[in-house]
Amino acid sequence: MSKIQVNDIELDYEDTGKGNVILFLHGLGSTKKDWDAQVPFFSKTHRVITVDLRGHGDSTKPLDAYSVALMTEDVKQFLDRLHIKKATVVGFSMGGAVAFEMASKLPEYIENLVIVNSGPDFNDMGKIGEDLLKNRTAFLETKGIALLAKEISFNMFPEAHQIDMRNKFEERCKKNDYNAYYKTFVTLMDWGLGDRIKNITIRTLVVASDMDYTPVSFKEKYVNKLQNASLVVINNSRHGVVIDQPDIFNTTLQKFLKNE
């Protein structure tokens, strides 16, 4: 693991392999460990970089400075420090929000955009978003981060054969700093691209799970607003598709990259 200073914080990251760069951005309350099944696969052909976003993992956890815009600026400075001019940016869930924001504000940094079980408007998800914000903040305030980690992990990996995935995800999720998680979550739920999505021209792959929190139709709707996007649905998978269906996810992404 290595650290790089960006803005007024340090980001912890891992850098493996050689070739065109793939930058993997993890989900809320998790770490670069989300990508454990992708790093060995893609580092055979690419330079693979995984990073803990601000407030997560081994990166700095500031008191108040949290937003998708700040995370995006962190990533921009991070790439600059590594002298990386372009990368395929793969964002899972919250990481997808950061990837979308980069595609809108800093398109010159992105070779290909890959959005995994995420969306362009966390602040405009209708009842699903309203319930998520209300229920998760209430759960966090009354029961704490450890029980929330257990609940989230079970919902993502509920099947008996997934118990190892569930336990590993719960273990890293419950290590979250309460303040960092809370402020990241509420600022994430206040973020959205709005009409800016129509201006994104970058070649884009959207990966959706058939059993994700939001339906496939939700992804289809925003894919149709993008100028150069395709959608792939992975079956028998929930929100954490990069973990619960890694082989299919990896070959899906590999096919997309080979056609660039």
**pTM of the predicted protein model:** 0.97
pLDDT (0 to 100) of residue 256: 98
Q: Which class does domain 2-122+194-258 fall in?
A: alpha beta
- The answer to whether residue 260 scores a pLDDT higher than 70 is no
Report, as an integer, the average pLDDT of 41-46. 98
Sign of the CA dihedral 229, 235, 236, 242? Answer: negative
- Please state at what angle helix 94-105 crosses helix 178-188, rounded to 10 degrees: 50
Residue 47 pLDDT greater than 90, yes or no? yes
Tell me the pLDDT tens digit for each residue of 128-183: 889 899 999 999 999 999 999 999 999 999 999 999 999 999 999 999 999 999 99
pLDDT in tens, 93-105: 999 999 999 999 9
